[in-house]
Amino acid sequence: MANRLATEYVKTCLKLTEAEMTQFIQMFVDQGASLQVKVLENGNQEVVLQDDAGEEIVLPFERQMNLYVCQGTCRMKNRNLVNAMRKAVSVFKGDAVVHRIYHAYTMVYTYKQGAVVKIVEKAKNAEKVVYEFKDTLGQLEHLFHKNEVEQEIRWLKEQVNSLLDLRNEITENYVRDQIDVRLRKLTHRLFVLEA
């Protein structure tokens, strides 16, 4: 198995309540992480983690209404920190783009609402989709609720009916010919839509 060099959270968005913020910190403590929480004067917080070789990873949490919002990037090498961060994104329904970096390639994981929706393997000159979430049920529901065709059919029938009424009232042949041309086009479109 290939040895992972680092994990980079390129785009991360976590929104935590105060109680969830405590749980978030506890996740890292449970993984044996050395961390420090700095409370800033404006209510914001910074979670500072110690990665391998004493490098600091700063996760800034901005206070917005009654939530702590963390948006940004960070790079981790310590497997325990990586596992805690992955778990946090999943548990707290976060969004993220994560690069798991290996010697010859990078695996790119895309998280939406805490779930992996896409995995792409990127090598020097190639990119391969390994996994992509397909919301088949959602797509079918969307198609079921989509009714533009039915609306157009209804509109076309109304047009045909009003043109037929008009044709019956008109006596001039030139106008009747124009109505017939329009009726042919409308009935052809109706045939196409109902087929």
Contacts of 7 (CB under 8 A, 6+ apart): 75, 76, 77, 82, 85, 98, 99, 100, 101
Question: What averages of pLDDT result for each successive group of 10 residues across the chain (195 residues)?
Answer: 84 95 94 90 91 87 94 91 94 96 94 95 92 83 78 89 89 89 90 81
Question: For position 82, what pLDDT does the model report?
Answer: 92
**Domain map of the chain by residue range?**
6-133, 141-194
State the DSSP string of 50-86. E-GGG-EEEEEEEEETTEEEEEEEEEE--HHHHHHHH
Question: For position 110, what pLDDT does the model report?
Answer: 96
pTM: 0.69
Question: For position 1, what pLDDT does the model report?
Answer: 58
Alpha-carbon span 78 to 154, nearest angstrom: 63
- The CATH classification number of 6-133 equals 3.30.160.110
Question: For position 63, what pLDDT does the model report?
Answer: 93
